[in-house]
């Protein structure tokens, strides 16, 4: 990076010097005008210094973005803050959290070990309705999915190693996909008026044959909702 800065500064100085040289060559036969051309040459160091400062400021932004890929798009609030989407371990992610944000570790079906769960906002019960999950994939800690609830009365919960993201007239259970690198919807049921729709999975398989449509009504929906009621809202450690 330092070499790149030096090359850019040198290129700017050469451009400036070249222009001055051309002007001096054209007016060589007139002493008075030649003296006038000498004045910008005296100011040249100041111009070069200003240009160097500009390049240094630009490089600081580039260095910050070099921590992420060229197509970097943050998957969570911690990635927006760190300008990174890959981390060495859970502790590094936690180090970017600020006051009022929360973290904890949980088990999710399909993942070998514990997953780090973080939230941008924790309520009085230390629960959250928007949660990002991080796990180790191929030796790198990265985001493996997020879960959302639109109502504070129904925080994100965990039960039987499944993540539940539910709210009024909406039920969703999640686990890890068969590759172990991302959250996958196990069951999804929603109500629109008097109509229920959705799909159900018995296993975390990409095979369409393992997925079936939800064809029940209110009674069947309430049976699935009992899974959420039996689950435990995720409790976070709050950063002070």
Q: Is the pLDDT of residue 43 over 70?
A: no
With 70 as the cut, is the pLDDT of residue 188 above it?
A: yes
pLDDT at 100 over 90: yes
- Segment 50-77 shows an average pLDDT of 55
Q: Give the pTM.
A: 0.71
- Whether 196 and 122 have beta carbons less than 8 Å apart is answered as no
Mean pLDDT, range 46-51, rounded to an integer: 40
Higher pLDDT, 82 or 27: 82
- For residue 131, pLDDT over 50 is answered with yes
Residue 1 pLDDT > 90: no
pLDDT at 108 over 80: yes
Distance in angstroms (rounded) separating the CA atoms of residues 85 and 101? 18
Q: Are 102 and 238 in contact (CB under 8 A)?
A: yes
224: Cβ–Cβ under 8 A, 6 or more apart, which residues?
Answer: 171, 187, 189
What's the distance, CA 32 to chain centroid? 62
Q: What number of other Cβ atoms are within 10 A of residue 176's Cβ?
A: 24
C-alpha distance from residue 211 to each of 49, 119, 169, 184, 206 (Å)? 65, 30, 21, 12, 9
pLDDT at 60 over 50: no
Region 143-159 average pLDDT: 97
**Does residue 176 register a pLDDT over 50?**
yes
For residue 146, give the H/E element and its range: strand 140-148
The answer to whether 166 and 233 have CB atoms below 8 angstroms apart is no
């Amino acid at each position: 990076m330092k070499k790149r800065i030096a090359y850019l500064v040198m290129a700017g100085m050469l451009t400036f010097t070249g222009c001055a040289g051309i002007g001096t060559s054209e007016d060589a036969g007139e002493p008075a005008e030649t003296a006038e051309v000498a004045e910008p040459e005296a100011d040249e160091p100041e111009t070069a210094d200003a240009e160097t400062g500009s390049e240094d400021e630009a490089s600081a932004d580039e260095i910050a973005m070099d921590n992420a890929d060229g197509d970097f798009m943050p998957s969570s609030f911690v990635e927006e803050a760190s300008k990174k989407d890959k981390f060495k371990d859970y502790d590094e992610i936690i180090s970017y959290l600020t006051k009022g944000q929360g973290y904890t570790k949980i088990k999710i079906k399909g993942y070998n070990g514990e997953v780090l769960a973080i939230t941008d906002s924790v309520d009085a019960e230390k629960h959250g309705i928007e949660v990002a999950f991080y796990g180790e994939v191929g030796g790198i800690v990265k985001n493996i999915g997020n879960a959302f609830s639109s109502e504070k009365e129904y925080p994100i919960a965990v039960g039987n190693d499944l993540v539940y993201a539910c709210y009024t007239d909406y039920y969703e259970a999640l686990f890890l996909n068969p590759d172990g690198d991302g959250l996958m919807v196990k069951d999804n049921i929603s109500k629109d008026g008097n109509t229920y729709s959705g799909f159900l999975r018995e296993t975390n398989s990409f095979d369409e044959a393992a997925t079936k449509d939800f064809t029940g009504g209110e009674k069947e929906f309430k049976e699935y909702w009992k899974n959420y009621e039996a689950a435990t809202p995720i409790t976070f450690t709050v950063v002070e």
